[in-house]
Amino acid sequence: MRYRDENKMQAIRDCAIEMVAKNGLENFGINRLAKAAGVSPATIYIYYKDKEDLLTSISIEEGVKMTRATLKGFDPNASFREGLWVQWKNRAAFSLDNLQAAEFFEQLRNSTYKDKMREAISLEFRKSMGSFVENAVKRGEINEMPLEVYWSVAFAPLYALIRFHNEGQSLDGRKFKFSESIMKQTFDCVLKGLSK
Amino acid sequence: MRYRDENKMQAIRDCAIEMVAKNGLENFGINRLAKAAGVSPATIYIYYKDKEDLLTSISIEEGVKMTRATLKGFDPNASFREGLWVQWKNRAAFSLDNLQAAEFFEQLRNSTYKDKMREAISLEFRKSMGSFVENAVKRGEINEMPLEVYWSVAFAPLYALIRFHNEGQSLDGRKFKFSESIMKQTFDCVLKGLSK
DNA sequence: TTTTTAAATGAGCAAATGCTCACTTATATT
DNA sequence: AATATAAGTGAGCATTTGCTCATTTAAAAA
């Protein structure tokens, strides 16, 4: 029998990410994707059930990749400061290295597909993160707080910064460029806010 | 001559917001909107040039409303703590009172329309906010920092919290409900992080 | 070499899309 | 009452949409 051409599947995935990132979810279509990937529309339906399945599958894949990248070299038993800083650096590096994947992901996060994505991500998240915050509380490094409050204070600022970078210009119209020193400055604020 | 029926325009606006909020930008269509608003498709084109004009016009309108609501009763000369707290409370109240408008806005913010929205919002923002941060720095209440860093630390956490609330469940699968005490707790973290 | 299996395809369908046009309706002005 | 003007309409066009099917192609198994 004939084998699957893994290059084709990869082309479909890559083009889908690129198209959504560049033209938005609202302009993404199967026929268009097929043409861009150099593939028949029917071929896409060998790999994916339908349009929704394609988008959710890819976004979950990318989400897992991003989470894994964020936790690379992360030691759950490290000090809170060090642990969080590793995550910040990893996450920023991933976004800068995978601009389109990050943009694709952000688009899906704000669409009607968001519900289906959350499960896969929260699972991965819970596994590796749960104990880290708990430990930091036990050791008296940070105050006890609901997980939502923690996430909002600890990560939302980083995501916002990355977003400013991707958009290329800031709130007041001037240019804005992400840098390690900007990240460090923001991190210091966040850490101070969370610390006892 | 015949007058414009302001109810019709309002119905179009309201339905558009509701449809995007409920079904996502990618499922929003003019024919669908016309039917939902009880209006002919052609009528929509009396008020708006095309689909893009409709979406950007409405989102700019809502964005201005939101910014105005956020700055209601805000005194640029108040202390930093008080000023920021007023903005937090206003913004949260607006989102809770206008769930669909907030969701609509968030969807547009992450679409290809985002560029056209930023101008209108940043204009409104700059007008009323610029001096507030500057003054706080001069009075020694907070450290000097780029505006993007300030925004990321001061507001991104609040937006994240509101998002958790709207999504109804949190990162780890449990229920999550926004409350004044949760908001206050988060605010204290943020304030501590920004303060000298 | 022949057979079997599944990958891959291009043409194209039914439905939906954004949008228009010839026309009707309502109301201020004459 | 007649006229002028712009709001408002329903049918529908050209195109695009998501998706399928009859068929062909490649390669493992016989």
DSSP string, B40-57: -HHHHHHH-SSHHHHHHH
Number of domains in chain A: 2
**Cβ pair B110:A109 closer than 8 A:** yes
Residue type, B88: W
Same domain, A99 and A181: yes
Is it the case that residue B170 has pLDDT exceeding 70?
no
Q: How many residue pairs bridge chain A and chain B with CB atoms within 8 Å of each other?
A: 153
Distances from the Cα of A11 to the Cα of A44, B98, B114, angstroms: 11, 42, 28
Answer whether residue A128 is part of any domain: yes
Q: Are B15 and B33 in contact (CB under 8 A)?
A: yes
Q: What angle do CA B173, B175, B181 make, to 5 degrees?
A: 130
Same domain, B112 and B165: yes
Q: Report the C-alpha dihedral over residues B35, B37, B41, B45, rounded to 10 degrees.
A: -160
Distance CA B85 to C1' D12 in A: 55
Answer whether residue B55 is part of any domain: no
Closest residue on chain A to B194 (Cα): A189
Answer whether residue A55 is part of any domain: no
**Cβ pair B146:A28 closer than 8 A:** no
**Cβ pair A157:B153 closer than 8 A:** yes
Same domain, B6 and B99: no
Answer whether residue B123 is part of any domain: yes
**Is there contact between B196 and strand C, defined as CB under 7 Å from any strand atom?**
no
Same domain, A118 and A170: yes
CATH number, domain at B172? Answer: 1.10.357.10
* pLDDT for A110: 86
Residues composing chain B: 196
Average pLDDT, chain A: 92
Average pLDDT, chain B: 92
Answer whether residue A38 is part of any domain: yes
**Cβ pair B172:A26 closer than 8 A:** no
Point out the residue nearest to D29 (C-alpha to C1').
A1
Same domain, A32 and A65: no
Res. A12 pLDDT band, cuts 50 70 90: very high
Q: Which of A105-109, A139-143, B139-143, B184-188 has the lowest mean pLDDT?
A: A105-109
Is it the case that residue B33 has pLDDT exceeding 70?
yes
CATH number, domain at B39? Answer: 1.10.10.60
Same domain, B175 and B80: yes
End-to-end CA gap in chain B: 64
Across A117-121, A161-165, B16-20, B169-173, the highest mean pLDDT is recorded for B16-20
Same domain, B18 and B78: no
Answer whether residue B53 is part of any domain: no
Is it the case that residue A69 has pLDDT exceeding 80?
yes
Distance CA A24 to C1' D19 in A: 21
Is it the case that residue B190 has pLDDT exceeding 70?
yes
Same domain, B34 and B96: no
Tell me the pLDDT tens digit for each residue of B106-135: 999 889 988 887 776 766 666 667 789 999
Residue B1: give the domain boundaries: 1-47
Answer whether residue A97 is part of any domain: yes
Q: Say which nucleotide is closest to residue A48, CA to C1' distance.
A: D19
Res. B177 pLDDT band, cuts 50 70 90: confident
Nearest CB neighbour to A157, from listed B122, B157, B170: B157
Interface residues 52-81 of A with strand D (CB < 7 Å): 52
Answer whether residue B111 is part of any domain: yes
Same domain, A38 and A132: no
Same domain, A70 and A39: no
Same domain, A41 and A77: no
ipTM of the complex: 0.90
Same domain, B4 and B95: no
- Write B150-154 long-range contacts (CB < 8 A, 24+): B150/B194, B151/A160, B151/A164, B151/A171, B152/A156, B152/A157, B152/A158, B152/A160, B152/A161, B152/A164, B152/A186, B153/A157, B153/A186, B153/A189, B153/A190, B153/A193, B153/B190, B153/B193, B153/B194, B154/B84, B154/B190, B154/B194
Give the gap in angstroms from C-alpha B154 to the nearest C-alpha of chain A: 8
Which of the residues B52, B88, B106, B186 would you substitute to probe the A interface, choosing the one with the greatest number of A C-beta atoms within 10 Å?
B186
Residues composing chain A: 196
